[in-house]
Amino acid sequence: MMYHSNRLIKAYERVGYQTKPNDLGVGVVGVIECNWLQPTHNKQDFDYTKQYRACISALGSKLNDYWNEKKQGATRSYQSAPANAQIPLDRPDQSWVQCDRCLKWRKLPDTVHADSLLEKWFCEMNTDPVYRYLVVKLLLGYQFEKLVIP
């Protein structure tokens, strides 16, 4: 996604591996604020200038580097695994869980796997004490005045 002065100009631009007919780069989304580029008069695209082409080229190389690092890092960490071990090939970079009470999404620490959680999960079950404390304050009523609709 490419923004100019906090305005979304290009919602999706394929770069790097994504421009070729293969499975490389699938699911990778980048966000960039590119105020140095000039948007067109209708603000739905950027002028096709040397700066724009250089930006797209740089984004493509960054995406390719990120993709290669993630794939090679995954294969490197599993090379020492025993032959009969099952290797999770599609493990996400981050795991998120939604609280069944407040419906907010919380990022799980890298040490906690989503498969090990109970069927119902609440914010007070968060292993990060900072977020657990904020939720306890909310549950005790310190911030309920913001939630009350007159």
Chain mean pLDDT for the chain: 76
pLDDT surpassing 50 at residue 31? yes
The letter for the amino acid at 78 is Y
Half-sphere CA count of 126, side-chain side, radius 13 A: 24
The arithmetic mean of pLDDT across residues 18-36, rounded, is 86
Q: Please give the order of strands across the beta sheet that includes 7-10.
A: 7-10, 2-4, 32-33
**Res. 131: pLDDT tops 60:** yes
- Mean pLDDT, to the nearest integer, of 4-32? 86
Write phi, then psi, for 63 (nearest 5 degrees): -65, -45
Neighbours of 149 (CB within 10 A): 3
User: For 46-86, what is each residue's pLDDT tens digit?
Assistant: 988 999 999 989 999 999 998 888 887 655 544 555 555 55
- Taking the model in full, what pTM does it have? 0.49
